[in-house]
Chains A and B, each alone.
Chain A
Amino acid sequence: MILIFFAAAALLLYILQAAYKRSWPKELSAELSFDGGYIYEDDESAMYEVIENRKRLPVFLLEVGFKIGRGISFIDTENTNVSDYVYKRDIYALGGYERITRTIRLVGKGRGYFPVSDVSLSAFSLFHTKRYLCQAGQDAAIYVYAKRTALGRIVPALDSILGEEESRRKFLEDPFAFSSIRDYTISDPMKSINWKASARSGELMVNTYASTMTARLMVLLDIEDSGIWKRQELVEDSIRVAATLLQRYLAAGREAGLAVNAQGTEMIMPGKGGALRHRAERLLTSDFEKERPFPLQELFRHVPEDVIPVVISKNADRELIFSLTGAFGSERRILLVVPHGKDEKPVLPVSGGIETVYREVLS
């Protein structure tokens, strides 16, 4: 009779284990989301893990794991493992029909785009004899924008150039005169749409006017770091300067654009509005070390004539000065920002309309 008991107990326990193995992942979901779509470098934010168990069966011990790029650092480091990625593992226990929401504080350590494409769910049997695994797709991501930086002498230099340009225009143009037709952007009012031009081209086109007299600028960013001695901190500073400048002048209502000498990156022509600013910020989160750079001079031909070029290059040399003069002419006002290391200020020739601002970057 005792053997009947042993056999019945073994059978029932086996059935229970098999039933748990089959049932635990059913109606179980894990969703990750970030608090907001972006943060700046060194800013704190939060990530939410929402685990739902929509069935009666409790899930005894659940480990939720995911990986994310190393630019994100979690404030509670106990559950994280850092190698090529940051691997995080959180532990839960859910009763039937329960939802647990956990807030995880994080810091943006480096600029970039950080998606989480899936999580691994790992459950244990009651006596820890078995471990069961499954994956759940995710669609969470966060951008870490370049850090804002002090612009120092760049702002007065650029303001001076912009002021001169606007004054010059005042004498040469009728502020109410029709200026040009260009592609529609989301920040353009409906009333400025030129319907005839739109019908002809098949895309929405808008009129632009010179009435505001506001000068436009375009940031040309050089990310090339091809020397033997890598100076990545100078490239990072260049990126931060570009981001800060764009944010400042777009917020002031100016039209600004951005071009980077990296293969495969889009060129943002001067425009206005928050949407353009975010496009530029996201462009600046790219991992430029992986992109093949091309010569900065190839960007010059894309700069419209009525736009003030703001060139940011740590590789500025005599050749670049000559290229700028050759591409834009000696009368064109240009701002050249040259980040350099301590006691490494380059000596550049003075040329016509080029205003050079040297910027010492301390490592």
Chain B
Amino acid sequence: MEKHGRDTKFYKRVRFVLECLHVLFTLPFVLTAIVIFAGQRDPAVLLLVYLSGYLLLPAVVIQKKVLIRNIPLAKCILIVLANAVMEAAIGYAGSFHPLLIRYRAGIIAALVIGSVLTGIDTLLARKTETDRQEALRLGEVDFTGQAYVLQKPSAVALAYIFVFYVVGLLARTDVLCNIALIVAVLYLITVKVYDFIEKSEEYLKINHNTASLPAGRILRTGTLLLLAVLLAIGLAAVPAAAAIRYRIYPSLEIRVPEGQAAETLGLTAPSSGPVMPPGGAAMGNPLDELVPEDDFEWPAWINDIVYVLAGIILFCVLIAVIRIIKEVFVRFTREYDDNGDIVETIDPDEKRQTLYSAGKIDRRSAQGGVRYRYKRMIRKNLKGRPMPQETPVEIEKRAGIQDRPDVIKLHDEYELVRYGQQV
């Protein structure tokens, strides 16, 4: 695949980015769901909790880059542990916001667990790949191996996102529902882009020995069509977004028969206030017990630094996205000849080239029909091709069909059409 150069390397980088995004899109939902089950309904808090899950990014990138290489297992375990410690530190620093402080321990735990899970998943996938290579070497073509859920985007994960959407419905938290909808759109885009890149790379790998394989053109042309698919996905999100205001939250209230006080089991989604058990005493948020009373206030300059850092990161991400889009379009508009092929743009008004040897005849016209039938008759009966200077009589004689009644009739028609321009 190396001989196809820059184009395939570019798409490999894109694929790597999508594999990282796949983890980031999916894991933070778990953290958010836990906070919801703990009783939190504040939209701002839920959004921040969800976004804090993206702090897993450094561990994901490091592990996906490093652990797939041929490193001894002991070193890999050390890398996973180091990443876990790093994520704990990031989680501690990242949950500085007053709204998140009370969930700091949970965020740190989620990041550490997410980091370890990603590491284990990557190592298991590496082992599967090694086993596959070994099976191929031994000639076992049926080996498929285990599929690992955190390795690559898959349409199956949309069901997982749907589950959290349902959780949001049941918990009556529109934040989680909206996040799930947005992530579903972005994730489907991720899946389609990843699918395209993976299948194209597979095809190119199978055909890597094919002469004049236009790998770059295949990827670029496919990307054009892919943009149409992504546009369709974007359009599909429009009715869903418009229908948000009509979202129906299911009620799980249970009514008891008349004569008895209506009881509401604690399953009804509470308001964002504290949960009221039967008897009326406020329970408070159970997680509050884990958070020690603390009068400590963060210095204001830490806030400023964090805002600056966030701004820098956002700026870098934006630049990267613009560069990717620009690179894709520059590649489309470049004039080139690929693998020695001559590539030309056809003017829509340009007449179709009719090569003499192609011998295209418009069969639909009366004249064309006669010529086509005559040509077919000759091709059927003559061995080889007629010489350019041979007359119809000479050709028929050589084919040995000059005395057939049907040939004589067609011959007369042909001569009228060919030489007399009559029908």
Contact = CB atoms under 8 A, between A and B. Distances in A.
A5 B209 contact: no
B344 A98 contact: yes
Contact of B181 (A2, A8, A34): A2
A33 B341 CA distance: 15
Contacts of A60: 218, 221-222, 225
Interface string A90-116: 111111011111110000000001010
A279 interface: yes
A139 B343 contact: no
A302 B243 CA distance: 94
A31 B346 contact: no
Given A93-B222, A126-B196, A12 B384 contact: no
Contact of B211 (A29, A78, A124): A78
Contact of B344 (A8, A89, A99): A99
A205 B224 CA distance: 66
A224 to B, nearest CB: 20
Contacts of A350: none
Contacts of B357: 33-34, 139-141
B240 A5 contact: yes
B210 interface: yes
Contacts of B209: 78
A79 B235 contact: no
B239 interface: yes
A95 B343 CA distance: 10
Contacts of B385: 37, 113, 115, 141, 143, 282
Nearest to B389: A186
B24 to A, nearest CB: 19
Interface string B184-197: 11001000100110
Contact of B341 (A6, A101, A139): A101
B226 A5 contact: no
Interface stretch (B26-34, B58-66, B259-267, B347-355): B347-355
Given A12-B232, A91-B213, A5 B237 contact: yes
Contact of A91 (B214, B225, B226, B387): B214
A89 B212 CA distance: 11
Contacts of A143: 384-385
Contact of A99 (B236, B343, B387): B343
A61 B201 CA distance: 13
B158 interface: yes
A126 B229 contact: yes
Interface in B151-208: 158, 161-162, 165, 177, 180-181, 184-185, 188, 192, 195-196, 199-200, 202-203, 207
B196 A127 contact: yes
A275 interface: yes
Contact of A95 (B221, B236, B340): B221
B127 interface: no
A140 B203 CA distance: 30
A15 B235 CA distance: 13
Main secondary structure on B side of the interface with A:
helix
B358 to A, nearest CB: 5
A95 B247 contact: no
Contacts of B228: 16
Nearest to B233: A9
A220 to B, nearest CB: 20
A100 B342 contact: yes
A113 B385 CA distance: 9
Nearest to A265: B383
Given A5-B240, A61-B218, A102 B212 contact: yes
A263 to B, nearest CB: 12
B217 interface: yes
A50 B387 CA distance: 24
Contacts of A34: 357
Contacts of A6: 158, 162, 184
Contact of B210 (A79, A100, A101, A286): A79
Contact of B225 (A76, A113, A126): A126
Interface string A133-167: 00000111101000000000000000000000000
A8 B240 contact: yes
Given A13-B229, A52-B352, A275-B389, A93 B358 contact: no
A58 interface: yes
Nearest to B217: A93
Contact of B398 (A139, A266, A286): A266
Contact of B352 (A11, A54, A94): A54
Given A78-B209, A78-B210, A97 B341 contact: no
Interface in A275-295: 275, 278-279, 282, 285-286
A230 to B, nearest CB: 24
B365 interface: no
Contact of A102 (B162, B210, B341): B341
A141 B385 CA distance: 8
Nearest to A95: B221
A1 B243 contact: yes
A16 B232 contact: yes
A4 interface: yes
Given A126-B222, A279-B387, A101 B342 contact: yes
Given A61-B203, A79-B211, A126-B226, A1 B341 contact: no
B206 to A, nearest CB: 11
B279 interface: no
Contacts of A141: 357, 385
A282 B387 CA distance: 10
B214 A97 contact: no
B385 to A, nearest CB: 6
Given A34-B357, A138-B358, A58 B221 contact: yes
Contact of A93 (B214, B233, B246): B214
Interface string A223-236: 00000000000000
B195 A127 contact: yes
A71 to B, nearest CB: 14
Contacts of A13: 229, 232-233
Nearest to A127: B195
B359 interface: yes
Interface string B231-265: 01101110111011011000000000000000000
A26 interface: no
A128 interface: yes
Nearest to A138: B358
Given A5-B236, A33-B358, A278-B387, 16 more contacts: A2-B161, A2-B240, A4-B239, A8-B237, A13-B229, A54-B348, A91-B213, A93-B222, A97-B345, A98-B343, A102-B342, A113-B383, A126-B222, A128-B202, A141-B357, A282-B385
10 contacts: A4-B240, A5-B237, A8-B239, A12-B235, A54-B352, A95-B332, A126-B196, A126-B226, A128-B203, A141-B385
Which 5 A-B pairs give the minimum distances between C-beta atoms?
A8-B236, A5-B240, A76-B211, A9-B236, A12-B232
